[in-house]
């Protein structure tokens, strides 16, 4: 039986096995999908094991750290400088970024090319920032690690020299077409946290939160209460997994089957990780 895994740290909240097992079942493929939790600095010693698999996924904090261990990068991974999916064949490991597929499907109704406020500049944040500037956004990046964000800004200007980009350590109180949270603030179990202050949120026309656990973060809850269109990360997670199966096996799926997986996954998250009422 072919084997696949997700590497990252920590992984206690992960729904990846739930999603990938459903996708393998839909395509009639026999394969196992597991979680491989790697503590900091443990990545290198696991590379031989990972290469022996048919493929694997990568999440925080290894989306950029994995790159030196790969033989080749797809143009998506090159573009975003982050890898979340690897296909191994005959000892050759190729890195891809499938987060972009899930992300673009999630925000297709929002003004990605307008005034965009991005919280966080890690692996997924880099991808989101790149897509924003490629769509013509005026981008504000909020990041406590200013040198890290400034490095990202330089990379973005290499992609689009005329891009309007500024880096701040605190979210400004001004109008934005879209607020995007690419930070882990608000993720289970710390569900009582919000990445921006209320006076920032009230000036945003739409919200996207990459977090999928809980299915409705405090940020999403507050946005909806204010009548602001808001989307969480569940659909992005499933659609990026679909793209991984397209890469690994060339599979395709009916939209209604994917919608069912998204709904079932959200129900499973809500059952397995109940959020206290005072968190929202």
Asked, for residue 277, whether it belongs to a domain, the answer is: no
pLDDT tens readout for residues 161-205: 999 999 999 999 999 999 999 999 999 889 999 999 999 999 999
Question: Within this chain, do residues 223 and 256 fall inside the same structural domain, yes or no?
Answer: no
Asked, for residue 31, whether it belongs to a domain, the answer is: yes
Asked, for residue 253, whether it belongs to a domain, the answer is: yes
Angle (CA) 17 280 132, round 5°: 65
Distance CA 202, CA 223 (A): 8
The rounded mean pLDDT for the chain is: 94
pLDDT tens readout for residues 97-119: 999 999 999 999 999 999 999 99
Torsion angle defined by CA atoms of residues 22, 23, 29 and 34, in that order, rounded to the nearest 10 degrees: -70
Q: Which two tokens stand for residue 168?
A: 């701040």
Asked, for residue 113, whether it belongs to a domain, the answer is: yes
pTM for the full predicted model: 0.86
pLDDT at 82: 87
Task: Answer yes or no: is pLDDT of 278 > 60.
Answer: no
Q: State which residues form the domain around 122.
A: 101-232
Chain Cα centroid distance, residue 152: 17
Question: Within this chain, do residues 120 and 220 fall inside the same structural domain, yes or no?
Answer: yes
CATH (domain of 212): 3.40.50.720
Mean per-residue pLDDT, 62-90: 93
Question: Within this chain, do residues 220 and 255 fall inside the same structural domain, yes or no?
Answer: no
Asked whether the beta carbons of 181 and 192 are under 8 A apart, the reply is no
Question: Within this chain, do residues 18 and 133 fall inside the same structural domain, yes or no?
Answer: no
Question: Within this chain, do residues 24 and 65 fall inside the same structural domain, yes or no?
Answer: yes
Catalytic residue among 29, 63, 144, 276: 63
Question: Within this chain, do residues 81 and 154 fall inside the same structural domain, yes or no?
Answer: no
Asked, for residue 114, whether it belongs to a domain, the answer is: yes
Task: Answer yes or no: is pLDDT of 226 > 70.
Answer: yes
Distance CA 107, CA 98 (A): 15
Percent helix / strand / coil, the chain, rounded to 5: 40, 20, 40
pLDDT at 279: 52
Distance CA 57, CA 230 (A): 27
Question: Within this chain, do residues 261 and 219 fall inside the same structural domain, yes or no?
Answer: no
Strand ranges (E), 137-223? 138-142, 164-168, 178-181, 207-209
pLDDT tens readout for residues 116-162: 999 999 878 989 999 999 999 999 999 999 999 999 999 999 999 99
Q: Residue 277 — very low, low, confident or very high, per pLDDT cuts 50/70/90?
A: low
Q: Is 144 a catalytic residue?
A: no
Mean per-residue pLDDT, 212-241: 96
Question: Within this chain, do residues 55 and 120 fall inside the same structural domain, yes or no?
Answer: no
pLDDT at 280: 52
Mean per-residue pLDDT, 28-40: 95
Asked, for residue 93, whether it belongs to a domain, the answer is: yes
Question: Within this chain, do residues 92 and 172 fall inside the same structural domain, yes or no?
Answer: no
Q: What is the number of structural domains in the chain?
A: 2
Question: Within this chain, do residues 177 and 239 fall inside the same structural domain, yes or no?
Answer: no
Mean per-residue pLDDT, 20-37: 97
Distance CA 29, CA 4 (A): 12
Distance CA 39, CA 279 (A): 29
CA distances for 166 relative to 82, 116, 171, 244, angstroms? 21, 11, 11, 33
> Could you tell me if residue 107 is left (phi over 0), alpha (psi between -120 and 50 degrees) or otherwise beta?
alpha
pLDDT tens readout for residues 5-28: 999 998 977 899 999 999 999 999
Which phi and psi (to 5°) does residue 34 adopt? -125, 175
Q: Residue 274 — very low, low, confident or very high, per pLDDT cuts 50/70/90?
A: confident
Chain Cα centroid distance, residue 98: 9
Asked, for residue 279, whether it belongs to a domain, the answer is: no
Bridge pairing between strands 55-58 and 2-8 = parallel
Task: Answer yes or no: is pLDDT of 43 > 60.
Answer: yes
Asked, for residue 278, whether it belongs to a domain, the answer is: no
Distance CA 57, CA 16 (A): 9
């Amino acid at each position: 039986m072919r084997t696949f895994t997700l590497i990252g740290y920590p992984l206690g909240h992960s729904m990846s096995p739930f999603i990938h097992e459903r996708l393998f079942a839909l395509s009639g493929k026999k394969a196992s999908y597991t979680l491989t939790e790697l503590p900091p600095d443990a990545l290198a010693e696991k590379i031989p094991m990972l290469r022996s698999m048919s493929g694997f996924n990568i999440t925080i904090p290894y989306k950029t750290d994995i790159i030196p261990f790969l033989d080749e990068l797809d143009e998506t991974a090159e573009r975003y400088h982050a890898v979340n999916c690897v296909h191994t064949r005959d000892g050759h490991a190729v890195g891809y970024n499938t987060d972009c597929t899930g992300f673009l499907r999630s925000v297709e109704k929002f003004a990605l090319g307008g005034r965009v406020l991005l919280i966080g500049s890690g692996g997924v944040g880099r991808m989101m920032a790149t897509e924003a500037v490629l769509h013509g956004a005026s981008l504000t990046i909020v990041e406590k690690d200013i040198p890290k964000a400034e490095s990202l800004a330089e990379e973005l200007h290499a992609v689009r020299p005329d891009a309007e980009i500024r880096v701040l350590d605190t979210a400004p109180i001004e109008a934005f077409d879209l607020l995007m949270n690419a930070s882990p603030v608000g993720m289970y179990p710390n569900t009582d946290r919000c990445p921006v202050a209320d006076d920032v949120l009230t000036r945003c026309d739409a919200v996207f939160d990459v977090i999928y656990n809980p299915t409705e973060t405090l940020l999403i809850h507050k946005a909806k209460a204010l009548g602001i269109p808001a989307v969480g990360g569940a659909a992005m997670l499933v659609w990026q997994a679909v793209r991984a199966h397209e890469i690994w096996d060339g599979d395709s799926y009916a939209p209604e089957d994917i919608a069912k997986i998204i709904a079932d996954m959200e129900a499973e998250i809500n059952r397995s990780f109940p959020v206290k009422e005072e968190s929202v």
